[in-house]
Structure 1
Amino acid sequence: MPILSRAALVEHLVRTRIAGDVATPRDNNLSHYRKLANGDRHYWLGLELGDRWTDEQDVLAVMAERCGVIDDPAHRTGQDTIDPELTVDGLERMAARLRKAAAGQERVLFATGHPGALIDVHSRVAAALRAQGCDIVRIPGGLVADEGYVVQFADVAVFERGASLWHTHSPEPMNAILDGLGEDGRPDLVIADHGWAGVLAQPVQDRVHGLRGVG
């Protein structure tokens, strides 16, 4: 498969609306920022924010800086954006970390709270890393969280309830995995999103489940 130039990748992201003018409406984004600021833990994505982010405008400012959403607080409806250049910067950082994992033949765990969109992406990356000698972590069977089960599908840990895979922001499925793996079974790298990643982003001293050297 040919490697895309940065310009070609930016064009692809904009054309497919992964970045640039995205499908998420502005009022939906602002609603999520407001709920985060008001302490709705569903929108904390596994992080423990305390009283650090209690102003919707502060959340908007950091999202504008990190993701490139429109930074004008008066813009309340219509289209919102994701900066494609910032997106490619993030992809390049991710590529560097994946190269390190492949070179070191690391143990890697994949998980997603958005199974409808991301299972195939994570599964393909898992297959590529396995081909380079990485150990793709298998989670224990019978893990329970949030009145459902944590299962693995195509090398990716997901949340299942009522025979369906669920979108979830909760950190509890990842906590169940870490408990099930134990200290000796912990991965070197976790590739995850939503609450599955947020719980791992906590400072080690603030987490019950500390993972050293996990990105």
Structure 2
Amino acid sequence: MPIPSRAALVDHLVRTRIAGDVATPRDNNLSHYRKLANGDRHYWLGLELGDRWTDEQDVLAVMAERCGVSDDPAHRHGQDTIDPELTVDALDRMAARLRKAAADSERVLFATGHPGGLLDVHRRTAEALRAAGCEILRIPSGLVTEEGMVFQFADVAVLEHGATLWHTHSPIPMAAILDGYERQGTPRPDLVVADHGWAGCAGQRGIDTVGYADSNDPALFLAEAEGTLQVTVPLDDHVTDPRFYDPMTDYLLDAAGLL
């Protein structure tokens, strides 16, 4: 398939509801913003936000700016949006960081807490970076957390629970990987490409991190605003068919010079 132009990708994102009018309802978004502001660590995704984001309206303002949700605090229910132009802008920023990784033959770790949606996006990116000369890191063996086992599938670290790849927002699996590297004397990654708590934990530890986040996961957008994460790409992270992400990945890899 041809690499989509920016305009074609924007149309595709809206048509498949990766962006535009997304499935996540407004009340769910606002509930998560409020819980983050109230200090619920589940919504901090491994980041240490301190008392910097205790006002729900401040969180909403960042999400409107960086994700494209409605900035109207009176809009409490119904449809909410992700601005597809912001999605493509963030893909361009991510592409620039991937291009640097390839130029410098960096050591890169991939991880996902949303394997049902983003596993193949990460897998294809890892494959392209390896072909460009990067080392795609293996995780330490035998990692077990309270949530399940941490292992690698198609170059991407995931959480396994009950013989199933597990959806998790937790930072604990990434912490287990990074602590495992330290125990065995392995240098930490030059770059982490991830989502959810996997990205938050890596960024909080000072590792260059780029990732993806949905409109109801504000922590990674706040982290980008503060400089803890380098890039956060706004998108619906679990649409009805994972193949819908293929044109987006094609655009990203082409912009990074990896196709």
Find out whether 1:186 has 2:188 as its counterpart. Answer: yes
Q: Which residue of 2 aligns with 1:48?
A: 48
Contact in 2 for aligned 1:143/1:150 (Cα 8 Å)? yes
* TM-score with structure 2 setting the length: 0.76
> 1:139 corresponds to which residue?
139
Shift of 1:147: 3.8
Checking the alignment, whether the CA contact within 8 Å between 1:146 and 1:173 is kept in structure 2 is: no
- Secondary structure (helix, strand or coil) at the match of 1:186 reads coil
Matched, 1:12 2:15: no
Q: Does 1:172 align with 2:172?
A: yes
For residues 63-119 of structure 1, what are the alpha-carbon distances to aligned partners after superposition, in whole Å with 9 as ceiling and x for unaligned? 001111000011111100001111111000111111111122211100011111111
2:241 — aligned with what? none
Aligned residue for 2:57?
57
Residue number in structure 2 paired with 1:201: 203
Q: Which runs of 5+ in 1 are unaligned?
A: none
Q: Quote the Cα distance in structure 2 between the aligned partners of 1:185 and 1:54.
A: 35
Give the distance between the partners of 1:48 and 1:157, measured in 2 at CA: 23
Count of paired positions: 208
Aligned counterparts of 2:146 and 2:69: Cα–Cα separation in 1: 32
- Can you give the 5+ residue segments of structure 2 that lack an aligned partner in the other structure? 211-259
Find the residue that maps to 1:24 and give its secondary structure. Answer: coil
Q: Distance in 2 between matches of 1:19 and 1:214?
A: 22
Secondary structure in 2 matching 1:157:
strand
After superposition, the CA RMSD in angstroms is 1.5
**8 Å Cα contact 2:37-2:55 kept in structure 1:** yes
Greater RCO, 1 or 2 (C-alpha within 8 Å, sep 6+): 2
Q: Percent identical across equivalent pairs?
A: 81
SS of equivalent residue, structure 1 residue 23: coil
Larger radius of gyration: 1
Q: Is 1:27 matched up with 2:33?
A: no
Contact preservation (8 Å) 1:108, 1:190: yes
In the alignment, what sits opposite 1:112?
A: 112
For 1:63, give the aligned amino acid: M
For residues 32 and 88 of structure 2, the distance between their equivalents in structure 1, rounded to whole angstroms, comes to 24
